[in-house]
Structures are given as structure tokens and as C-alpha cells.
Amino acid sequence: MAQLGRVGVVGLGYIGLPTALAMHDAGYEVIGVDVDRETVAQLEDGKTRINDVDDDRIQAAVSTGIEFTTDYAALADVDGVAICVPTPLKKTDTPDLSYVLDAAERLEPVLPDGCTVVLESTVYPGATEEVVGDTLASNGLTIGEDVYLAFSPERIDPGNGEYRPRDIPKVLGGVTAACGDRAMALYEPVFEEIVRVDTAMEAEVVKLLENTFRAVNIGLINELAQVAHELEVNIWNVIEAAETKPFGFMSFYPGPGLGGHCIPIDPFYLSWKASTQGIDTRFIQLADTINREMPEYAVQRVIKLLNDHGIVPSTADILVLGVAYKPDVSDIRESPALDIIEALEEWHTDVSYHDPHVPSFELGGGTRRSVTLTEERVAEADCVVVATDHSDLDTEWLVDAASLIFDTRNMTAGLHAEHVFRM
């Protein structure tokens, strides 16, 4: 395959690494940059901690020319750069763009004239121009003439094997029209479809809309799940029947809370920006309140089940299945399962967990390790709590082995047993 040019990808995590590989597959000469030396060393050895990327794929990419480094100077002769660094929240639930700013400051002295920079990290509306643009222009360069800047929100769905990065339509907006043109030219060989919007700010809001839409609707169904429980109505049956309507309804599902790096966080980027304009985003705030309460609600349901079955919570043996925030990934960021474990332990229950994707993690000042899932371990648990519905879990076997199950994910759907209770 003929080389299309030389590009860089800054940040080699859940988004950056698949992006770098997609650009490499399209025919670009790719330099992946990350400030974490351990990450770079692993990649140079053909290994990765990212679930969606096999070691074999890394080894094949390394053997065909992809480079990984901690040195931003390696980007001195690139045609374009994609910035894919984390954008978490501060403890005050306000945007933390320190990683974006750090990347821009490291890029500013090394980028060649005419380079195209595309920010993929989720930011508040206007941040592409205000944070990245102002930094890159600090040495007198003009955005849209000397350097070209655009925003293109990442849409990668970890654990989703159906859609590769190339298959997902790529939204893109330039700070100027010329910036949009350059970014289009950079990304067209990589993605099947480019959805161009008028400005970088429009593209920023697209990302925030997508995940705020999900957060608000999940909050709604979580609230309805609590109502349905009190009415002794099966919320899962209700949703299944409602989704038979061919228009005007979209299914969302209740759960023990929100997790991951997007849905629990992105709405705050929008609400924070709205607050600077004097706008109170009440839907976002209410949905967040409901979703944050769900781990505690799940625990209260478990405690009631224990009491109803004559089990004193302080003597109970609880087995939590799954601590990743979603199925078939190892990511525990913002995972509600961690809140559930801590809340259960406040009742002095003995809590252990099993997760094939998370062999260990740190919580409460100590290291937790996954237990082996055996029939004996399941049988001795007073209650098994399904917190994450990993696809490799044999639910029929689980129902047969357990004496009491609280299923927050409806993983046991269709298996009718008196000892199985669902969210």
C-alpha cells in the first residue's frame, strides 16, 4: 500500500491506539506518542492492555512500520496529528483539560508549518479553539493559514466487536473552513464516512449531545425501574413490549449506575459551559442525581433480600460478578460495581468478586483480587450480585448453582426461578 503521508497520534489509550492502527491500516506512516513510558515500552514489545486490540495486531503493525515513542520531537515532520488524551472531571465536577493543554504545549514547538491538528478528546464547547488553538498560535502562527485545527469526536465503543473505528461515521468540524478542508483530506482515507459540520464548536456539541442524551434517558429508565419495583411490575417486560412500537420509542435499560469515561462525565462538560452562560441544565442535573443513587439503591435491594431470606447482612457472604463498567472490557473507570462493593462493606458483609477481565484492582487502600468462579464458590455465597453482564458468564449454570441472585443487568432473562431477583 502506498504511503499517504506521515501522521502522529498523541495518547495511546482506549481511543488513541485504535485510531493509530486505523490510520496505519489506511496507509499512513504513523507515529504514536504517549508520555507514559510503560505504555510505549509495551507497545514496542508488541503488547497492549487495550481489550479491543490483540497483541498480534500490534506486532503486525510494528513489523510494518508503526512507531511508538514518548518523544514529541518525532512529530516534527508530520502532516497531521490526532490528539486523543483523557479529559476527566475535577473533584468539583468541572472540566479538567490539563491533558489537552499539556499535549498542545508539547506540540507547539515541534509542529511543522501547514500541519493539521485534530482534537478527538471530549471537551466543552469552544475548547478546541480556546485551549488548543490559542496554544498553537502562541508563537504568532495563524489558525487556518499556518496551522489547521479541527475537532472530531471519538465514537469508539470499547467491547463492541461489530463496529471498527473505520465503520463508524466520523463527525468533523474545522475552526475555519480551510481547517475543515484539511481535516477532511486527512481523515477521508481512514473512515468510510465523514459527517462534516460547519464549525469545531458544532462538532464538540455533537459529542456532548450524544452522551447527554444517553445519560438523561438512562436516568429516566432507572427512575421508572424503581417505580415498577414498588408496583410489582417487571420493568424488563415493559421495555420489551414498548420496543415493539416501530416509531417514537427507543429502548434504554436500567442498571446499577453509570460507568466509563463518557456517559458519567460528558454531560458535565455541557452543563458547565451552559452555566457560564447563565443557563441551568436541570435535566442533566436530575439525571445525574438519579444515576449516582443507583449503586446505593441496588445495595438496599440486596440488603432487603438478605433480610427477607433470614440472613443477617453483617454475617453475609456476597459474591459480586463483574467489576468492569460494561461487558467484555477491563475498564473500571467510574464503574458502579466499585460503589456497590464499598456500600455492601459498610453493612459489614464479606464481599468478594469475580471478573475474568479484571484480575485485580485497588479499592479502599487495598488490592482486591478476582476469585475463581466455581460451583462451590457460587453455592457458598449467601447472595450473588450480577453487576456486569460479561458474555462468557453461563447464566443457566449460575442460576442452578446459586441460592440467591440479584441481577442488576437482566442477564438471567428467561430463566425463571424463585431465588432470582432483578433490578
Q: pLDDT class for 21, splitting at 50, 70, 90?
A: very high
What pLDDT, in 10s, does the model give residues 37-75?
Answer: 999 999 999 999 887 888 999 999 999 999 999 999 999
pLDDT on residue 160: 75
Is 262 marked active-site?
yes
Long-range contacts of 346-351 (CB under 8 A, 24+ apart): 347/299, 347/303, 347/313, 347/314, 347/316, 348/313, 348/314, 349/313, 349/314, 349/316, 349/317, 349/318, 350/316, 350/317, 350/318, 351/318, 351/319, 351/320
Average pLDDT over residues 17-34: 96
CATH 1.10.760.10 fits 214-422, yes or no: no
- How much of the chain exceeds pLDDT 90, in percent? 90
CATH 3.40.50.720 assigned to domain 6-198? The reply is yes
Q: Is residue 2 very low, low, confident or very high in pLDDT (cuts 50, 70, 90)?
A: very low
What size, in residues, is the chain? Answer: 423
Please report the pLDDT score of residue 162 as a whole number: 81
Q: What is the pLDDT of residue 97?
A: 96
Q: Please write the tens of the pLDDT for every residue from 274-314.
A: 999 999 999 999 999 999 999 999 999 999 999 999 999 99
CB atoms within 10 A of CB 128: 30
Mean pLDDT of the chain: 94
Mean pLDDT of 1-8: 76
The mean per-residue pLDDT over the stretch 240-257 comes to: 96
Sequence-ordered list of residues with C-beta below 8 angstroms from that of 396, at least 6 positions apart, any chain: 415
Q: What pLDDT score does 3 carry?
A: 62
Q: Which of 341, 325, 342, 320 minimizes the C-alpha distance to 398? A: 320
Annotated domain spans of the chain: 6-198, 214-422
Instruction: Match 477481565 to its residue by C-alpha cell.
Output: 357
273 pLDDT more than 60: yes
- Spatial CB neighbours of 38, under 8 Å, sequence gap ≥ 6: none
Report pLDDT digits (tens) over 126-162.
999 999 999 999 888 899 999 999 999 999 887 777 8
Give the H or E element holding residue 17.
Answer: helix 16-26
Residue tagged active-site, from 84, 115, 179, 262: 262
**Fold agreement between 6-198 and 214-422:** yes
CB 129 within 8 A of CB 204: no
Q: Is pLDDT of 91 > 90? A: no
* pTM of this structure: 0.91
Which cell is 251 given? 429502548
What pLDDT does 227 receive? 97
